[in-house]
Structure 1
Amino acid sequence: MDRLNADLLPGERLLWSGSPKRIPLLAKADVILVPAVLFFGLAVFFGVRNGFSLFLWLVLVLVAVAFFARPALRYAALRTVSYGITDRRVVVWTRGKQSASRYLKDLGPPYVRENPDGTGTVGFNLGRKDIGPVTGLEDSLAAVGLEPKHPELLNIEHPTVVRDLIASAQREAR
């Protein structure tokens, strides 16, 4: 909490802080892993039957590492993330350092995607004209290593309470 307060702007109050409580190894964006596993399973099966060359085995191993490294890297990164909601901003800290910050007045209305275990993700619509949450673009940007335009508070406890806190702080900030 002291480290989080040290990054606040003068006069800014920390309303909530938290971190992901559930860090899944696989996400919806990893659906490509299913056909990849089937492909590699068939490649190994037929490779054993027909005697693959060393070069083809090396290519298969490199492609498999590329597919399976992404979820592992995401898991490792999320273990070091913490979030903060202030009366002015949404702040994301990674490895104890502020890595992203957005002013509440610049964010669209918050939304919640709940998980069956009670945790959930709080995200932000792109603007007032948007009807539903925009997640495809955000997932695509995050998949290629670019930061999404709006922060998401992934897999936090009591996401509806946090969403309501953000909405209240947005009303006061405008």
Structure 2
Amino acid sequence: MDRIDADLVPGERLLWSGKPQRIPLLVKNDLILLPAVLVIGGVILGGVRNGFSPLLWGVLMLVGGVWLGRPVLRYAALRTASYGITDRRVIVWTNGKDAVAHYLTDLGPPYVRENPDGTGTVCFNLAPADFVQTTGRGWVDQSWSDVGLDPKYPELLNIEHPMVVRDLIASAQQGDR
């Protein structure tokens, strides 16, 4: 709470704070790399049959590092993320970075995508059709540039009670207008 209070401007009230409750291992964007892994696997299989060159090992390590590194980096970034809603701003904190704040008056209406487990994501400035529902198989559409945590508009990923938070934000936006 000290970090949250330190980032508030004079006269600003904290309405809600939270953090991601669920951090998925794989997201939809990770599937793009799957064909590359399969092709590289075929090349490596051919290389094993005809003698394995160091170049193939290097390619294998590069593709494997990228494919396995993305979920690890995403997990590390989301594990340290926390969010705050004030009567004026939406604030996203991540460990090792400064807080990123967006004034409610600069944001469009909040939208919610609920997950099967009751958590959900609150986003701004998107049409409801831009949200793709989760499939129930553990694949979750995420943003934050997958790992960068610096979106153009804030996203509160995988929070508890997302509909309540959305309503709180909408009420705060109405109070500012």
TM range (shorter): 0.7 to 0.9
Q: 1:97 to 1:148 in 2, by over 3 A?
A: closer
Give the % identical residues. Answer: 68
Aligned-pair CA distance for 1:156: 0.3
Q: What is the RMSD computed on CA atoms of the aligned residues? A: 2.3
SS of residue matched to 1:142: coil
Aligned-pair CA distance for 1:64: 2.0
SS of residue matched to 2:159: strand
How is 1:77-96 mapped onto 2 (pairs within 5 angstroms)? 77-95=77-95
Which residue pairs with 2:2 in the alignment? Answer: 2
Which residue pairs with 1:26 in the alignment? Answer: 26
1:158 aligns with 2:161: yes
Q: 1:160 to 1:144 in 2, by over 3 A?
A: closer
Q: 1:7 to 1:56 in 2, by over 3 A?
A: same
Assess if the C-alpha contact under 8 Å between 1:7 and 1:98 holds in 2: no
Letter in 2 for 1:104: L
Which residue pairs with 1:36 in the alignment? Answer: 36
What is the distance in 2 between the residues matched to 1:131 and 1:119? 18
Letter in 1 for 2:153: H
Assess if the C-alpha contact under 8 Å between 1:124 and 1:133 holds in 2: no
Which residue pairs with 1:56 in the alignment? Answer: 56
SS of residue matched to 2:157: strand
Aligned-pair CA distance for 1:50: 2.4
Matched residues, number = 168
The normalised TM-score by structure 2 is 0.84
Letter in 1 for 2:79: R
How is 1:9-158 mapped onto 2 (pairs within 5 angstroms)? 9-95=9-95, 98-125=98-125, 132-133=129-130, 139=143, 142-143=145-146, 145=148, 147-158=150-161
What is the distance in 2 between the residues matched to 1:146 and 1:155? 14
Aligned-pair CA distance for 1:99: 2.4
Q: Tell me, which stretches of 5 or more residues in structure 1 are unaligned?
A: none
SS of residue matched to 1:21: coil
Assess if the C-alpha contact under 8 Å between 2:123 and 2:154 holds in 1: yes
Assess if the C-alpha contact under 8 Å between 1:15 and 1:85 holds in 2: yes
Which residue pairs with 2:173 in the alignment? Answer: 170
Aligned-pair CA distance for 1:68: 2.0
Aligned-pair CA distance for 1:8: 0.2
Q: 1:87 to 1:67 in 2, by over 3 A?
A: same
Q: Tell me, which stretches of 5 or more residues in structure 2 are unaligned?
A: 133-141
Aligned-pair CA distance for 1:77: 0.7
